[in-house]
Amino acid sequence: MNSRKKTVSQTSVHAMVESIVGCKWSLHVLAQIRAGINRPGALERTADGLTQKVLSERLNKFLRFGILEKHSYPEVPPRVEYAFTPFGRKFLKLLDEVEELQRELG
Amino acid sequence: MNSRKKTVSQTSVHAMVESIVGCKWSLHVLAQIRAGINRPGALERTADGLTQKVLSERLNKFLRFGILEKHSYPEVPPRVEYAFTPFGRKFLKLLDEVEELQRELG
């Protein structure tokens, strides 16, 4: 948690917004996880053109930003799921408001 | 109004946030106007080091963004006041939330 904060504090909130609003795959992946699709394989199948490489880059960015956390379950085969952190849920609301104001500009 | 929209739509909301959060004079001027100090002369006197040039650059940026509107009153001497647009008031709330999330990152 503390290490998360340390990591996240290296990126400012407005730089996070910039990095995500400007990236269609970032927005797509966040929308899918928000809709409950939270496993890498399932996420990869949500869009043609979304490669495993691009997906894991985006997921790692969200982990670095402290927006997502990764849960690994010791099963066979191992199960991995991503979930929003409390900060991530607030950040999503911020993104919604940015999009709402953007629409207002027409 | 229409021309304002045209102008504003050239700058995205997240680029506006970037441009303002990263600029101490932008934040200072918005805070002063929010506090009711809305005339150029009075704004210039709110901080040492705030020159007329820097102030008018920031005010023009806010007009361009559609955050502020300028009211000129045909008096002697002419009176000029700046006020937040409806968009500007919503944008201020967005800035508050960005700052709040930033504090959370510690």
The per-residue pLDDT of chain A, averaged, comes to 91
**Chain B residues touching residue A91 (CB < 8 angstroms):** 101
- Say how many C-beta atoms besides its own lie within 10 A of residue A82's C-beta: 21
| Predicted complex ipTM | 0.82
What are the residues whose beta carbons fall under 8 Å from the beta carbon of A55, sequence distance 6 or more? A25, A29, A40, A43, A44
The per-residue pLDDT of chain B, averaged, comes to 91
> Model pTM?
0.84
The mean pLDDT of B20-39, rounded to a whole number, is 96
How does pLDDT run across A38-82, given as a tens digit for each residue?
999 999 999 999 999 999 999 999 999 999 999 999 999 899 999
A66, A74 contact by CB (below 8 A)? no
pLDDT surpasses 80 at A4? no
Q: Is B6 on the interface with A (CB under 8 A)?
A: no
